[in-house]
Amino acid sequence: MVESLSNLDQLNISGADAYIYSSEPVTIEQVRSMGRASDKLFCKLQDNKFLTFGHYIIKDYESKTVLVEIGEDLQTYAHQEAVQREIDGQSTIESRTVMYRFGPQFLELKTLSLRLEFNIVCEEPIKDLLLIERHYFRDRLLINFEFKFPFCMPKSKNDCEFIYDLPNLTEEEKKEMIENPWEVKSDSFFFHEGRLIIHNKAAYSYE
């Protein structure tokens, strides 16, 4: 069984950190079987010695309307601030959760385009990089998608685009999501050669 980097000894979790970070490692198969958004983080930001994120943009695939766009400078600033909070012992689940505020029209979209730049910062090539992202409404899995990167050159800048279909929702489900902001949540996991290096969380409002 392949374990993640994150356990009590490796993360030196104690005190308040124990309420934020899981004391148990997580595997790829465990992530794939999760029935709801996690209430803890499975690794620290400092576990990631391999890559940084750059320009990030989400569009409606059909109309090409830009829904979210975050530049590399903002990504870098937000990451540095979060790492410092982590070092200072001030991280919370709330501070580590990205909040996306979309209007109700978002729930009418069919397909999204997600374009992401990431930089390999280590001296060695990255093999078998796997992204798993899972979205939930309360205890229901809405969508799961996975993307694989078999090989990334060291010290390289990479640009990728993901196209994925959104779940088919009933009118009642849409109404419930609009009336209950932030109860749609997601977990994003990056594994490197089967070992967890990044765990990001997000929540969504459609008011």
Cβ–Cβ contacts within 10 Å for residue 142, how many? 17
Task: Assess if residue 110 is contained within a domain.
Answer: yes
User: What pTM, to 2 d.p., does this model score?
Assistant: 0.88
What is the rounded radius of gyration, in angstroms, for the C-alpha atoms of the chain?
17
Q: Where are the alpha helices (DSSP H) in the chain?
A: 8-11, 28-32, 72-87, 171-179
Residue-level pLDDT at 19? 75
Confidence grade of residue 137 (pLDDT, cut at 50, 70, 90): very high
Confidence grade of residue 3 (pLDDT, cut at 50, 70, 90): very low
Task: Assess if residue 99 is contained within a domain.
Answer: yes
Task: Assess if residue 100 is contained within a domain.
Answer: yes
Task: Assess if residue 65 is contained within a domain.
Answer: yes
Structural domain total, the chain = 1
Task: Assess if residue 2 is contained within a domain.
Answer: no
Task: Assess if residue 87 is contained within a domain.
Answer: yes
Task: Assess if residue 12 is contained within a domain.
Answer: yes
**Nearest Cα to Cα of residue 4 among 174, 133, 139, 193:** 193
Task: Assess if residue 207 is contained within a domain.
Answer: no
- Domain extent, residue 139, equals 8-202
